[in-house]
Structure 1
Amino acid sequence: MQFLLVVVVTRALAPSAAGAFFTATALALMVAGVAKLDAGNGLVYFIARAKTYGYLGISGYIRAALVPCVVVSGAAGVVLYPRLGLLAVALPVIVVGDVLLAATRGFGVMRPTVLLDGVLLPGCQLVLAAGAAWAGAVEGLPVAWAAPYVLVLVLAAAEVRGRVPWTPYLPGTGRDLWRYTAPRSVAGAIQAVFQRLDIVLVALLGGPAQAAVYLAATRFKVVGQLANQGLAQAVQARLVRALADGEAALARELYQAATIWLVLLTWPVWVAYAALAPWVLRVFGPSYGSAGPVALVLAGTMMVATACGMVDVVLTAAGHTGTSLLNLLAAITCTVALDVALIPAHGALGAVIGWSGGVIVKNLLPLWQLHRRYGLHPFGRHTLTALRMRAAT
């Protein structure tokens, strides 16, 4: 649905106008990612560990997580309103909805995330954007993109309220939450910047038209991100419990099974995309067909990344949030350096090379760290078990 949304926008707008829209939404999501302060993953960690105690005091953790996020996102919205307009107003809504959805995953359920974030949000964005484009009201595209976040927030709040009994705020709750989450807040901010900085840099250094070409050619990376995110969200709570209880064998089984499923789900897509890119890219418009080399770099990089598995999730589940932060700093430094050096001369191709360098660093560093500290590998005997299950289905 996100791919189709890009098709709608690129067909409705000229490349420069489409690039400006994509840059604005990328900037909004980047700022929202920073303003989340990684509070959602902090809630997953504490809610998953609190299961033994009947989730005592969880409502206090949720309140402690939400207040700083609302303050930061609200302040960011005020500062960015002259630049982003309605998209800036939507920032607190995006942030709070995401944090509340993360809280539901701490209880070991995936249905709210799948239905709200995976189906409802992109589906509504696609329908509203297509309606605006069909009616010729292209100025309504920002509204079509932002409005569904309100619905997600309301439904996520209802889901959390149904699972969490209201309890008094326990002393030390906020301190415990943010002591664990603080390093991840910085890492989450860097991760949010890392995911979308390339689009903003292309727009700044190469112009909005190049930004539109770059985003169209790399839109398929959402396939790999979606599979990785889905598996990580499903496994994260169990990984936290396994590592907290010293069950290294279970942690290894979860990591290796998730890795082979990630490879099986995504590698056929990347091979097909690399082979068919010159034809696939023309669905965005005639001027996008020349971005084939960008697609080849993207496909190769994502195949390497998926072969490493969800290394950063395993690292943070083991409590090494500071190490994860340093890894992200190294990755974004690599990306920015390559982007600044290559985008002015090579446009979208230079941007994807910069992004590729950062992704390789971001995956290989934690892979080596997990091997050195825990002897964990993305492939092993549990890989064969998962393959037999795959063959059986």
Structure 2
Amino acid sequence: MTDTADRRDAGGTAGPGAGLRPVLRGGVVNMAGAVVGAGLNLLLIVAITRAFSQETAGLLFSATSVFLIAAVVANLGAPDGLVYFIARMRVFGRPGGVPRLLRLAMGPAVCAACVLAGALLVFAEPMAGALGSGEAAAYLRLLAVFLPFAVLTDSALAAARAHHDMAGTVLVDRVGRPLAQLGLVAGIAVTGSAGLLALAWAGPYLPAAALAWFWLGRILRGARPGAGPGHGPGAGADRGDQAREDPAPAGGAGAPGAAGAEPVAAREFWTFALPRALGGLAQMGVQRGGVVLVALLSGLAGAAVFTAATRVMVVGQFGTQAVLFAAQPRFAEQVATGDHEGIRSLYRAGTAWLLCVTGPLYLSVLVFAPEVMRLFGPGYAEGATALVVVCAGQLLGSVLGMGDLILTMTGRTGLNLLNNMLSLAANVAVCVALVPWAGATGAAVALVAAVLVRKALPLWQLRSQVVLHPFGRPVAAAALSAVLWFGALPLLADAVAGGGFAAAAAALTAGVLGHAATVWSLRGLLGLRPRG
């Protein structure tokens, strides 16, 4: 492809299929990291559940859930704001304003992280009492020290992704940090010093923050005015000179900074970011709040079982984020240029990609749920029903696609906030109703209800701007391939061979090969062979 075509590929002016190329590039890098990161995170959970008691594992999972929720609060929506406004700066040829935007975003976020870290230190004892374990106070205090580093890491990697650089996220957050956590937890498991588990889990955030900002600095130096396209590790498909050669219209209606001509004001940035922060808090409350609620309503052992049962969801989220992180800046650019057909094309293709990636995982785990739960050790088999519920819900969520991301990139963060708050409310209400008598399974039902609320509402809310729906040939082809190779084939093998590890391994191996061949043969239909 010529240089001009590459620039049009980034700018979204050459047709609906052209914009898929930079997303595919970033998605491939993210997917490689997602596979490794998912494996490392699963190994980390298995190491904890097998090396320590259910109470100790539940305590760590509950404390780290509090940490992750606090990190989302402290971020103040800065990562999403950075992606949104940096992408717009680049599409309008103003990359020189990025350092100022970083200062604008990071000052309040770091201050908020320090305040929340102090609050965790002060209120560690009362929170430990609520969790029913005196050891929780030590865990929470150790985690609090590393909260600012988690915030710094998230923002630096978000700014890198806005430059279409996915390698930093993969190397630092998907591979490096979980690998360090796994190594430290394994060392502690050998010594038996359970009191240091929180330090082993949170400690890697410090070097991760340093590496993330170093990586971003290299990108910014390569993207400075005069560096020219193609320089720097983060130089992606779209460049600053794109706006000169392919001028774009002003952004979509209702989006902040639509004109793209002036530096981003603090009020404009935080008007976008803060509602997104609350939305992110609600999402994290759904993902991690269930662990805390189960600990409060059903005990630490129940929290350990629920965490193990939902690990497949987290593994699947790595694959989902591989697509979302690559698509996020592209959606922001398409909204900025008013490319509604490009948005529809990327939405359909992205939904098909999500099913190609996550469908095999969720279907395989659904079929072999009892065997999967036995990986975590004795006492975790009771979580098989919860695991089936989670997998079924996540499959439905994948079919509904990325409407919530598109809603955010249109600047309608108020609606996104409403959706996420309704999702959190559904999760809490169902948890309170079901967890006391159904335990982990009740929390799994609550999680699925929350996911469906968050995924379905944006498709209805976007109807007046751009009509989106998940129904079409690409999504149908991806779904049928996953169901055939990872649903029907394993069930048939189990019925014929009478179960057993050998039959399951053979069926999964055949499924991987068959699904890969099917996806390859349908790559044109699935949008995996876009034309520029």
* Same topology, TM > 0.5: yes
TM band (smaller chain)? over 0.9
Distance in 1 (alpha carbons) for counterparts of 2:285 and 2:411: 22
What's 1:258 paired with? 350
Establish whether residue 86 from structure 1 lines up as the match of residue 139 from structure 2: no
Establish whether residue 139 from structure 1 lines up as the match of residue 185 from structure 2: no
What's 2:167 paired with? 111
Displacement of 1:189: 2.1
Distance in 1 (alpha carbons) for counterparts of 2:200 and 2:379: 25
Displacement of 1:172: 5.8
Distance in 2 (alpha carbons) for counterparts of 1:54 and 1:318: 20
Displacement of 1:268: 1.5
Displacement of 1:171: 7.2
Q: Deviations over 1:280-323 (max 9, x none)?
A: 11121111012111011001000000001111111111221111
Question: What pairs up with 1:354-393 in 2 under 5 angstroms?
Answer: 354-380=446-472, 388-389=522-523
What's 1:181 paired with? 273
Establish whether residue 304 from structure 1 lines up as the match of residue 390 from structure 2: no
Distance in 1 (alpha carbons) for counterparts of 2:475 and 2:141: 49
Distance in 1 (alpha carbons) for counterparts of 2:74 and 2:307: 23
Displacement of 1:194: 2.1
Q: Deviations over 1:250-300 (max 9, x none)?
A: 111111111101101111211111111111111211110121110110010
SS at match of 2:192: coil
Give the letter aligned to residue 48 of structure 2: V
Q: Deviations over 1:185-227 (max 9, x none)?
A: 2212222222211000000010000000110111110122111
Distance in 2 (alpha carbons) for counterparts of 1:364 and 1:383: 16
Distance in 2 (alpha carbons) for counterparts of 1:3 and 1:383: 28
Establish whether residue 68 from structure 1 lines up as the match of residue 68 from structure 2: no
Establish whether residue 228 from structure 1 lines up as the match of residue 320 from structure 2: yes
Give the letter aligned to residue 274 of structure 1: L
The TM-score with structure 1 as length reference comes to: 0.95
Distance 1:375 1:171, change over 3 A: closer
The TM-score with structure 2 as length reference comes to: 0.71
Farther-moved stretch of structure 1 (130-139 vs 87-96): 130-139
Distance 1:242 1:171, change over 3 A: closer
What's 2:67 paired with? 28
Distance in 1 (alpha carbons) for counterparts of 2:435 and 2:401: 29
Distance in 1 (alpha carbons) for counterparts of 2:217 and 2:403: 32
2:154 pairs, out of 98, 108, 116, with 98
Give the letter aligned to residue 523 of structure 2: M
Give the letter aligned to residue 42 of structure 2: F
Gapped regions of structure 1 (runs ≥ 5): none
Question: What pairs up with 1:273-292 in 2 under 5 angstroms?
Answer: 273-292=365-384
Give the letter aligned to residue 72 of structure 2: G
SS at match of 1:66: helix
Distance in 2 (alpha carbons) for counterparts of 1:267 and 1:384: 12
Distance in 2 (alpha carbons) for counterparts of 1:277 and 1:383: 25
Contact 1:253 1:382 in 2 (8 A): no
Distance in 1 (alpha carbons) for counterparts of 2:402 and 2:279: 16
1:13 pairs, out of 33, 41, 52, with 52
Distance in 1 (alpha carbons) for counterparts of 2:264 and 2:290: 39
Give 1 or 2 for the bigger CA radius of gyration. 2
SS at match of 1:285: coil
Give the letter aligned to residue 159 of structure 1: W
Judging by fraction of residues, say which structure has more helix: 1
1:248 pairs, out of 340, 346, 349, with 340
Displacement of 1:384: 8.3
SS at match of 1:127: helix
Distance in 2 (alpha carbons) for counterparts of 1:341 and 1:329: 18
Displacement of 1:330: 0.8
Distance 1:382 1:304, change over 3 A: closer
Distance 1:277 1:385, change over 3 A: closer
Distance 1:198 1:350, change over 3 A: same
